[in-house]
Structure formats: C-alpha cells, structure tokens
Structure 1
Amino acid sequence: MALDNKYMLGHEIRKGAYGRVYKGLDLEKGDFVAIEQVSLQNSAQENLNIIMRQIDLHKDLNHKNIIKYLGSFMTETHLHIVLEYVENDSLANIINPNNFGPLPEPLVAFYIAQVLEGLVYLHEEGVIHRDIKGANILTTKEGVVKLVDFGVAMKLTEADVNMHFVAGTPYWMAPEVIEMTGVCATSDIWSVGCTVIELFTGVPPYYDLQPMPALFRIIQDEIPPLPDSLSPGVTDFLRQCFNKDARLRPDAKTLLSHPWIQSSRRVVLQSSH
C-alpha cells in the first residue's frame, strides 16, 4: 500500500505508544523505515496534541542509542510518524523463552551500558523517557541498542506540571512516579534496574502480582526482590538503582562508571576481538 507517494507500507513490526508500527519502504531512496500509524478517527484531539508535542520533543534528538525521527505526515484517516528502521527485535522479544531466554551477565551489562549512554544524552537534553523497559529497547544486527517509544517522554521543565499524571508501565515504575511526588531524571534509573532484572529472569520485579498490588509493594518494600545467583557487582548496581530517595539515586553518567558495567564491557570487547 503506497502512502503519500513516498512510502510503501509493509507488515506490522510492533505496537507503538499510540498506534501500530509497520515496516515501510522509502520509494525515493530505497531505504527501509518504521512507520507508526495513528488513527485520527480513534484519537481524541487532546491525544493528538500530546502526540504532536512528543514529535516536537523527539525530532531534535540525535544520538546513536536513540531511535531517529525522520518525519511525519497526515492522510485523511491517519497521522504517520516515520522513524529509523531497526532490523532486530526488542530486548523483551530476545529474552522470550521461544527465542533466547534470559541473558548472561556480560551481555546484560553490554546492553545496559548503551541504555545508560542514551539516557545520559536524553537527560542532558532535558528529556525524561519515563517508559524504559525491554520492549522499548531495540537492537540492530550489530548489537547497537536504540531507545524507542517517546509516547510518555517529557521535558524536565514540564515535570512539575505533569507531577499528577502517572505515566509508564507499572512493574518498571519508580516509587516517586506512583506516589506523584515528583518525576525526575533518576526515575528512569529505577526503570533501568527493573530492566536489568527483566533481562536476567525474563520478567520485571513483582510480575507475579497484579499491577495494583505490585505498585503497592514498590512503595512499601525497601527494595524490589533481587534474583538469586547474581554477582556482587550486579547486586550493588541494582541496590543503587533502587534507592527509594530519587535525589540519592545515581544519574546515568555515574552508573556508566560502575565497576559491574566497566568490567563486563571489557569482557565483551575482548571476546569480540
């Protein structure tokens, strides 16, 4: 199906924040792209305004670990958001038992280091992602990680305005997001900790509970339960991510120099030479 005389729409590749994402073909350059298709009929004007704000926020981002925004256009029925095409699956799909299952420590550190690189850039640009999880981390065939889905991302300057607006996915949510006491850049760091556990075990913390009891436990427990058999390095990394006080939680740049990330990165680099 041709769109706007510039793209052809192929098969669905994933669900986006606001619509379905399809593989697309750029008819001028022959490149593959990803096209998120948002129905204009089923979206309230308020949602469309939010989407246009997200596009505005996303379009200026430029970093190797952030999915590139390439443009957008309207047809009579849909808004189409054109993004960089990433050939491999999300980390959530990679750890699916039907694919590879949970990942070994050095590879988790290799992926998480890149997530942190992306977050250092976002936070320096004044953007909080607010929905870091395995499903929103895509990988290229070379193993480069790309953060996707800026559907609930926001500018740090809007954090106070949006304080009473809970966004994200329950099992990966930081306590301050649930309690609406102030979203901040380190709210993403809590989600990174949950993602580390997801990559080791296949599921985030509290996944055996329904969302509401899970949210209650996130607030009540000192830290989420940690999987057995983790090395002391990972355990320390997770304890730092899960500091209940967001102001005392390390930022992405600090965590990049954590010994677990550093040592595992060396292992991966050595094995690739």
Structure 2
Amino acid sequence: KDQSGTTIKNYKLGEIIGKGNNGKVYKTLNMDTGDVVAIKQIPLHNMAKEEISSMMKEIELLNHLDHANIVKYLASIKTKDYLNIVLEYVENGSLANTVKKFGSLPESLIAIYIEQVLQGLHYLHTQGVIHRDIKGANILTTKEGTVKLADFGVATRMGDATALPGKDYHDVAGTPYWMAPEVIEMSPASPASDIWSVGATIIELLTGSPPYFDLAAMPALFRIVQDPCPPLPKDMSPALDDFLKLCFRKDPSTRLTAKQLLDH
C-alpha cells in the first residue's frame, strides 16, 4: 500500500519513484536539512527472522561502499512494518526508463554509460561484492549523465554464496533475460556473471530489449544455456561486436573482468 505522506523520524515520504524486487522506492524529504533522498521501503510482515537478518546484513554491506558509480547508502530505519533504507536520490531515473522515453541509444553514448558501469562493478568486485542483477532498470543516471549502480537487491559477498537447500529455478537470483548461463545452471554467481549481464544490458540499450526477450522466461533460460552465444544485433560496429563476444563467453573462467574490459 502506498505510504506517500507518512513521516519516519525526520523523513517525509513523497511520490513512488520505483518498485524494486522487494519493495517500493519513494522520493523523500529530510525535514531537518531539506535534503532530497530516496527511501526504499521493504515490508517485513511476511518475512522470516532469517530474511530480515540477511536484509540487515545487506544494508551493512551497502554502508561500507563508497564510489562515484554506486548509489550511496545513507542510513536505515526499522519500524514495526517496514525496513526503510535511505539512499542517495538519483534524479534522472534508470537507463531502462531513458530507453523507454528516448528510444534505443547510439553506440557512442552506450560506451559512456557502460564504461561507468564497469568502473562501478570493478569497485564492487574488488570489495568482494557481486551485484547479481545488472540490467537497465538497476542503472541510474544523474542529470549530468553520471551512472550509478542501484538495487543490490540480491547482491552478496563472495564466499557467502552458499545456496539454501531446496532452492529451485524460481529462486535463482537476478532477472532471467540478463542472467548468465552458469547462474541458470545453479552454479554460484561470480564477478564473471555480472559481466555477462553487462553484455545483455548493452543489447537492451541498443535495441530496446535484452536477448531472447521475445520468449517466455523458461524458454529464454533454456536458450541462454544452450546457444553458443546470444543473437547479436546486425548493424553494430566491429568493435562492439567484439566487446559483446567477450562478455558472452560461455565459460565464466575465460570471460574478461571489469578491469580488463575497461582497458579493452
């Protein structure tokens, strides 16, 4: 239910500006300072104790991250019904929205965005964090065009990736069309799986949707695993074609790292 107008401590919630995989995001005013922030509100009512504690862990994780290309985490406030995560407000919204509004983007602009995505990922990966859900909807921009990675909804610290027994396809972290083949096959996510998702995101920005988007989720997952490489748009520069093939290497151990792609 829409919580616009509610006050939490010194924060007053305004309009809904996004819906994540586990909660709504509100544009919010700090009534003491006049700062505009974003609050992601995660309902607690149907969450197990373990889930809540893993959420709190995730917040701790966000708290330590500090990089120009990552949405800054500011605070968290737990109320009876919600966990409220206070985040930097990124005024321009997501690249998925940009593509919706302005249509597909030219390679030159995509290169500017993706370079910053890779800078953010390189930072995360050196901090032992895998994003796990890289896609246009989770890449925000400021009005100056600075890119910020958002919604570490399922980001985990590497080495903490032990899956709970009894998990099946429905619980695979991430969004099907952007998902790396090894993750679909239930291997633990790694920095390399974020790189695959960068490839799918480039195609999303270039054509309006990621590979296999014309298929339902299950057949798409099947094709990602089976095909030697996702179908690539025809009219790309050779450089971009080459770059995408590096992102879409089937064997994650041969996929380039964010740092290597930045030098590419």
TM range (shorter): over 0.9
CA distance in 2, matches of 1:214, 1:46: 32
Counterpart of 2:258 (choices 242, 252, 256) is 252
Query: Structure 1, residues 185-209: CA drift from partner, whole Å, max 9, x if none?
Result: 1110000000000000000000000
SS in 2 for 1:95: helix
Q: How many residues align?
A: 255
CA distance in 2, matches of 1:187, 1:226: 18
User: How far did residue 158 of structure 1 move?
Assistant: 1.4
Partner residue in 1 for 2:60: 56
Counterpart of 1:110 (choices 89, 109, 112) is 112
Given that 1:197 and 1:227 are in contact with CA atoms closer than 8 Å, whether structure 2 keeps it comes out as: yes
CA distance in 2, matches of 1:14, 1:252: 27
Counterpart of 2:34 (choices 30, 33, 37) is 30
SS in 2 for 1:216: helix
CA distance in 1, matches of 2:191, 2:255: 10
Given that 1:65 and 1:117 are in contact with CA atoms closer than 8 Å, whether structure 2 keeps it comes out as: yes
Unaligned runs of 5+ in 1: 259-273
Q: How does 1:136-151 map to 2 (within 5 A)?
A: 136-151=138-153
CA distance in 1, matches of 2:123, 2:32: 31
Identity %: 59
CA distance in 1, matches of 2:197, 2:61: 21
Partner residue in 2 for 1:239: 245
Q: Which runs of 4+ in 1 moved over 4 A?
A: none
CA distance in 2, matches of 1:40, 1:186: 32
Partner residue in 2 for 1:14: 18
How high is the TM-score relative to the length of structure 1?
A: 0.90
User: How far did residue 94 of structure 1 move?
Assistant: 0.5
CA distance in 2, matches of 1:46, 1:228: 47
User: How far did residue 46 of structure 1 move?
Assistant: 3.3
CA distance in 2, matches of 1:11, 1:92: 19
CA distance in 2, matches of 1:166, 1:41: 23
Q: Which amino acid aligns with 1:195?
A: T
Partner residue in 2 for 1:270: none
CA distance in 2, matches of 1:214, 1:119: 25
**Are 1:205 and 2:211 matched, yes or no?**
yes
User: How far did residue 2 of structure 1 move?
Assistant: 4.7
CA distance in 2, matches of 1:76, 1:181: 36
Counterpart of 1:80 (choices 65, 79, 84) is 84
CA distance in 2, matches of 1:173, 1:83: 26
SS in 1 for 2:90: coil
CA distance in 2, matches of 1:109, 1:117: 12
**Are 1:227 and 2:227 matched, yes or no?**
no
SS in 2 for 1:186: helix
Partner residue in 2 for 1:183: 189
Q: Which amino acid aligns with 2:140?
A: L
Unaligned runs of 5+ in 2: none
SS in 2 for 1:18: coil
Given that 1:206 and 1:214 are in contact with CA atoms closer than 8 Å, whether structure 2 keeps it comes out as: yes
User: How far did residue 37 of structure 1 move?
Assistant: 1.1
CA distance in 2, matches of 1:128, 1:5: 32
User: How far did residue 77 of structure 1 move?
Assistant: 2.1
Given that 1:17 and 1:150 are in contact with CA atoms closer than 8 Å, whether structure 2 keeps it comes out as: no
**Are 1:101 and 2:107 matched, yes or no?**
no
SS in 1 for 2:254: coil
Q: Which amino acid aligns with 2:28?
A: G
Counterpart of 1:167 (choices 141, 162, 173) is 173
Query: Structure 1, residues 234-273: CA drift from partner, whole Å, max 9, x if none?
Result: 0000000000000000000000112xxxxxxxxxxxxxxx
CA distance in 1, matches of 2:148, 2:36: 16
Given that 1:12 and 1:22 are in contact with CA atoms closer than 8 Å, whether structure 2 keeps it comes out as: yes
CA distance in 2, matches of 1:5, 1:213: 47
